[in-house]
Structure 1
Amino acid sequence: MRKIILIVAVLFIIIVSLVFILRERTLDPDNLKTLADKYQRKEKSAADHSKFPELNRKFNSPQEVTETCISCHNERHKEIMQSNHWNWEREEYVEGRGIIHIGKKNAINNFCIGTEGNEKSCAKCHIGFGATDKMQGYSDSTNIDCMVCHDNSETYVKGSEMGGYPDPSVNLTLVAQKVGSPKRTNCGVCHFFGGGGNNVKHGDLEMSMFEPTKEVDVHMAIDGANLQCQACHETKNHMMKGRVYSLSSMNRNRSECEQCHTSTPHEKNILNEHTLKVACQTCHIPVYAKVNSTKTEWDWSTAGKLKDGEPYEEDDSLGNHTYLSIKGSFKWGRNLVPEYQWFNGNASHYLLGDIVNDTSKPLVLNTLHGSYSDPESKIIPVKVHRSIQPFDPVNKMLIQPKLVSDKSGQGALWVDFDWQRAAEVGMKDVNLPYSGKLSFIRTEMNWPVNHMVSAKDKSVQCVECHTKNNSRLAGLTDFYMPGRDANSFVEFVGKASIILTLVGVSAHGLIRILISRKKGKK
């Protein structure tokens, strides 16, 4: 009997010790009111630009506006020209490649595929003017577009396929006199419309985020904290915190929830312990694309069809394009449950000219690295966009097609609707070979979901993951999860512990009863 009691005691000590080893230090919850007061306090500009005589004039070009900005805000243009927003690339260390430059100039995506050769259209979301093929002209500081980020009149808009120039209808004088700190409208005009339309790419960044309610996003809610983007994406010298892993590769300069909420924000210790391996977003963003649909699949192989010699489109009941002659077929989704992956902040990317040897499975264009055994990894929510895009089966590389042109006959798919010619011209533009053979392969892209944070009472519930049936984390199989998984050894130890505990308690009670009776007889 003593041996049984000793075994039970040892098991109890081991279990308690493990709990305390794994348990993080418990802190009091953040004072949310203090945080809200801090970020809701709006700093009013000390300068009224409408009173500056330099701005009370007619501007004949947007470059004249920039020259005027630089005349006062001297040296700022040098900061901007070192930024990722300007260069569309950054220096990164990529495992297997070493130190390289990576960005929109050489990374392939599975939406509009790539910028090379299509700069005049893509530059609608560049912070400069006058983009031409190969981004010529972007060594001139007067081509910096100060207005696109600092316009507070909400009248500034860039023209379509104009190389980043503003639409001719824009009143440059009005905009120049109404500049200030960036607002969600400034950031969103590009980031909410990536991929050619509202919420096409990210799934968690779209028009509803201009003025969201608490049901959409608790941080940016106009009836809540009403935060601007730079509350999280802190900026110093025009360098912004935050990474978009369609292009980024390294675990640095990330914008994270812990900046405000710390790693132990919960009153219950068991929830704080989850933050060791589970990112905040995993529980607090149960669904994305809450208001408007996001694109989930894109089939380029069907592009180019015409009706009566003219391009056409087809829409679903919500107004989403399901077919466009210039782009192909699409599928959309709304109120989507994310997929989940391990992520340590590092990623690998398919770059222009990379060889693809295995086409039997989808090519992942941005692989997110991580695993349960990696101490830096956490489970994050992800939107996975799936596509079928052009591929050269002889040279074994993805094709960057020519998409945009001012006129017909130059090989642009969106004008001439000729896949062969678009592939030939596009690959020539990026100085890569084209065999003349055109096929299509399946690809995937991972888009971490970080926005559209729900109120805490709408967060993911324990049983949604810790269940054998339809667990949210069913796809992550490299670790044991209580309630979801069955492990014979763990089950045996658990049952044995319960049985031994019952036996020990019963034996202890029985012994005390027997001893008590024995003493009573005396």
Structure 2
Amino acid sequence: MKSSVSVAAVLLALGLAALPARGAEHPGKEALEKNGYHGPESCEECHPGTAAAFLETVHWKHASKVSNVEGLDPNKEYGMKNRIYVMCNGNDIVNNLKEIPKSPETGKTKFSGCNTCHPGNHLSDVASTGPEAQKAVDCLVCHSSDYDFRQRKPYKDAEGRVVMGQDRSTKAALAISKPTVKNCMVCHEAAGGGVVVKRGFSFTKETDAHAAKGMVCVDCHKAKNHRMPTGLDPNNWATDGLLVSCADTSCHGAKPHKDADLNRHTARIACQTCHIPRTGGAFAKDFTVWEQGSDKFYEPTTLKKEANETTPVYAWYNGTVKNTPHFIGPKGSRQDGKSRITPFKIFQGKAYFEAKTGNLLSMDFAPPMANGDTRAGVASAARTLGMKDPEQVAKNAVPGWQTIYFGSNHLVTKSKSLSCANCHAPNGVLNFKDLGYSDAEIVKLTTPELYLKKLVEKQKEEW
């Protein structure tokens, strides 16, 4: 962008360095109106080097080194770029954005791929580097409150290449702000095959106490140089190395309650256990049998629950993860001194496993999406991954189930949080036996003696 008064100069004059708050005018409005928006090069008038730095983040690479999951090579990077698990049964490699085969019944085709949320143009794809990749970054998909998401769709260019469209309009650029809930949720809410499917939550004032206060995603997930803090979800392997925690002093701290009895629980009980009593999302998927929809294309058979519809399962969790072909979930115990009782959303998926090794096989969704042939999808993925004799791998593949524990970290409630009687009762939500407590300890933990007086006093106040 060339201008007698550059955007950078305007920023300097105003003494501003960060993005404006939602609803505030973006510095440099006149320069943008005069010169138009030209992608990252326009942004770098004020934020030099940002595009190159963004290429090193998880949002671009879809992978990182992982230190808390068993069985992984500490020198390699893992994430949606390359891992295989039964929520998706594929990754950015085998299910790269592409045009799938035509439906035998309608003759129609469509674009599909796991990396449709990648903030690039697909020509510069997941983990790409260099000047062209920097130019391809879609800054506005996260940073414009007036982004036209209808333009964010794939198409074929004049050379027949699949391109992911972007809204690079001046109108969108003039609406620059910190990311809104919609900017985040357009990808994160719809991941895994549809709205609410993967994580099982929606972030609205009706479903989350933080949203009800007017907070947005980045109020907790405060990025540093576009590196996003995340929680310790057993299924969320790739991270930017930053942790978000309720116990952070800028949030609730280690002693969040006025009640000392409740504060004593925080050493052994995760905040989410009491304050996220419900979950939702996909309950189970069968990738070995795909169902035909009204458009004549196929999708894996899926049992889905709405947000707040299902009860979590509770387990000790110390931040490390058990990882086997049939189970991905929390490790921990009441004896290790690091674990807390934590809630999880359980998901189970059926897919194909390699007959010789027992390892989970990936699936290219293009064949089954067009005609329902799931083993053709396994063969195509095996071919892409360079496996020997892909057709034989698919023919001998064995159907089986994998169980995944997803972290239950949203749908926070204060008014409907668990109380003493929800846990410390013989029919309470916590299975103390499974959590490693002895029969004698369970008797002590499930008596009204622990909470009767306090709850009766509270009951008097409420009545």
Range into which the TM-score falls when normalised by the shorter chain? 0.7 to 0.9
Distance 1:114 1:388, change over 3 A: same
If you compute each CA radius of gyration, which structure gives the higher value, 1 or 2? 1
Q: Which residue is equivalent to 1:191? A: 188
- TM-fit CA distance, 1:367: 2.4
Percent identity reads 24
Aligned: 1:387 with 2:368: no
Q: Match for 1:127: what amino acid?
A: P
Matched letter for residue 298 of structure 1: K
Distance 1:131 1:399, change over 3 A: farther
Structure 1 residue 138: Cα displacement:
4.7
Partner of 1:240: 228
- Is 1:273 matched with 2:282? no
Answer yes or no: is the 8 Å Cα contact 2:58–2:238 preserved in 1.
no
Contact 1:49 1:176 in 2 (8 A): no
Query: CA–CA distance in 1 between the matches of 2:287 and 2:385?
Result: 20
Q: 1:49, CA displacement in angstroms?
A: 4.8
Q: Shift of the alpha carbon at 1:327? A: 1.5
Structure 1's unaligned 5+ residue stretches are 1-40, 306-310, 315-322, 351-355, 357-362, 405-411, 495-522
Alignment of 1:158-197 (within 5 A): 158-159=152-153, 165-166=164-165, 170=167, 172-197=169-194
Deviations 1:336-395 (A, max 9, x none): 221111111222445xxxxx5xxxxxx11x222211112111111110111111222234
Rate the CA distance shift 1:72–1:42 in 2: closer, same or farther, 3 A: closer
2:407 is the alignment partner of 1:448: yes
Shift of 1:464: 1.7
Distance 1:159 1:177, change over 3 A: same
Q: Distance in 2 between matches of 1:442 and 1:452?
A: 28
Contact 2:277 2:312 in 1 (8 A): yes
State the alpha-carbon separation in 2 of the partners of residues 345 and 164 from structure 1.
Answer: 39
User: Residue 506 of structure 1 corresponds to which residue in structure 2?
Assistant: none
Say which SS state the counterpart of residue 114 (structure 2) adopts: helix
* Distance in 1 separating the partners of 2:240 and 2:359: 28
Which residue pairs with 1:27 in the alignment?
A: none
SS in 2 for 1:301: strand
Q: Which residue of 2 aligns with 1:106?
A: 82
* 1:413 and 2:371 matched: no
Structure 2 counterpart of 1:5: none
CA–CA distance in 2 between the matches of 1:201 and 1:69? 33
RMSD across aligned positions (CA): 3.2
State the partner residue of 1:122.
Answer: 114
The alpha-carbon deviation at position 75 of structure 1 amounts to 0.8
What letter is aligned with 1:51?
E
Structure 1 position 78 matched with structure 2 position 52: yes
Where structure 2 has 5 or more consecutive residues not aligned to the other structure, the ranges are 1-19, 98-112, 157-161, 450-463
Q: Is the 8 A contact 1:124 1:161 kept in 2?
A: no
TM-aligned CA distance change 1:338 to 1:49, over 3 Å = farther
Name the TM-score, length of structure 2 as normaliser. 0.76
Separation of aligned partners in 2, 1:198 and 1:177: 29
- Tell me the SS of whatever aligns to 1:385: strand
Given candidates 288, 307, 332, the residue that maps to 2:279 is 288
1:401 to partner: Cα distance = 1.2
Q: Give the secondary structure class of the aligned counterpart of 1:125.
A: coil
- Contact 1:65–1:172 under 8 Å retained in 2: no
Change (3 A) 1:161 1:193: farther
The CA distance in 1 between the partners of 2:337 and 2:428, in whole Å, is 27
Cα distance in 1 between the residues matched to 2:87 and 2:21? 37
Amino acid at match of 1:218: A
SS in 2 for 1:153: coil
Q: 1:461 aligns with which of 377, 401, 419?
A: 419
In structure 2, what is the Cα distance between the partners aligned to 1:481 and 1:272? 26
**How many angstroms apart in 2 are the aligned matches of 1:164 and 1:125?**
13
Paired amino acid for 1:185: K
* Structure 2 CA distance for aligned equivalents of residues 481 and 84 of structure 1: 46
Aligned to 2:107: none
Deviations 1:158-194 (Å, cap 9, x if unpaired)? 2158867236xx5623212222211111111111111
User: Does the C-alpha gap of structure 1 residues 95 and 301 become closer, same or farther in structure 2, counting only changes over 3 Å?
Assistant: closer
Aligned length: 395
Structure 2 counterparts to residues 303-382 of structure 1, below 5 A: 303=290, 311-312=292-293, 325-332=298-305, 334-349=308-323, 356=325, 363-364=326-327, 366-382=328-344
Q: Does the 8 A contact of 1:55 with 1:177 survive in 2?
A: no
2:387 paired with 1:432: yes
446-455 or 171-180, which moves further after superposition? 171-180
